[in-house]
């Protein structure tokens, strides 16, 4: 199976062992693509939904991948410890609102759904255990907003009930759905939306990156042996 790793930020990609020395083999529409060997491709798609969707569409159409693994750090809406690995069970988009037209909050038009499931999250967690890593399953909310403590974060928590909040995953899930490509996501908790120390946590996410970086590549190689 052809698996691609999609990151939002260069620092997430560079958390992979040896990734800091790699040069992209191609840049398409400003998105750098890297050869990780053994049929694995990686890209740094950029922050936010449009950037993420554009990069994943290239992975689907140009490189013909069978599954995209979105890996990165994310803010936590509950009390998981920093650095906790979370296998996304499903995604929602917290900033999509056509309720004025009678739709449910978060419903994405065209595909007409509010929840985007991932590929075999329980199986993904089992593969991580084979690598000696424990991960929890969680719901993730995506939107074009860096979530910080306040009324808006509280509304997202109380409306969509996510464990994590980030800016790319559900856009990638939507692209994968429309292309018939598998989608999985592995996130590492970097900060906590409702802690007073959130910003200090966010700018000191070394533990979150370390926990993510050491497992992503072995995890992707195990995914290559699966069937979507």
- Looking at the annotation, which residues are catalytic? 12, 191
DSSP code for 104 = P
Other Cβ atoms less than 10 A from the Cβ of 98: the count is: 13
Contact 127, 222 (CB under 8 A): yes
Q: How many whole angstroms separate alpha carbon 51 and alpha carbon 114?
A: 21
**Token pair for 71:** 């890996």
* In 116-155, beta strands by DSSP E: 116-117, 135-142
**Close Cβ partners of 153 (under 8 Å, ≥ 6 residues apart):** 77, 147, 165, 193, 194
Contact 35, 189 (CB under 8 A): no
Distances (CA, A) of 106 to 127, 170, 196: 31, 11, 28
CA 219, 221, 227, 228 torsion-angle sign: positive
Distances (CA, A) of 207 to 84, 101, 146, 180: 9, 44, 20, 34
Q: State the greatest distance between any 2 C-alpha atoms of the chain, in Å, as a whole number.
A: 51
The candidate with the shortest Cα–Cα distance to 127, out of 38, 216, 210, is 216
């Amino acid at each position: 199976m052809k698996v691609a790793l999609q990151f939002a930020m260069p620092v997430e990609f560079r958390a992979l062992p040896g990734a800091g020395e790699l040069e992209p083999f191609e840049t398409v529409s400003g998105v750098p693509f890297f050869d990780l060997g053994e049929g694995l491709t990686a890209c740094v798609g950029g922050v936010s939904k449009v950037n993420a969707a554009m990069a994943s569409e290239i992975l689907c159409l140009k490189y013909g991948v069978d599954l995209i693994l979105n890996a990165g750090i994310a803010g936590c809406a509950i009390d998981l410890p920093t650095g906790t690995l979370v296998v996304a069970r499903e995604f929602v988009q917290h900033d999509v609102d056509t309720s004025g037209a009678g739709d449910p909050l978060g419903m994405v038009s065209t595909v007409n759904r509010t929840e985007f499931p991932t590929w075999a999250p329980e199986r993904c967690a089992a593969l991580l255990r084979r690598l000696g890593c424990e991960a929890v399953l969680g719901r993730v909310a995506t939107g074009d907003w860096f979530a910080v403590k306040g009324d808006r974060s509280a509304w997202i928590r109380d409306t969509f009930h996510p464990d994590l909040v980030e800016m790319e995953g559900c856009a990638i899930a939507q692209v994968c759905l429309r292309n018939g490509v598998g989608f999985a996501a592995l996130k590492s908790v970097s900060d906590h939306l409702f802690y007073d120390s959130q910003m200090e946590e966010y700018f000191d996410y070394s533990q979150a990156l370390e926990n993510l970086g050491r497992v992503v590549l072995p995890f992707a190689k195990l995914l290559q042996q699966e069937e979507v």
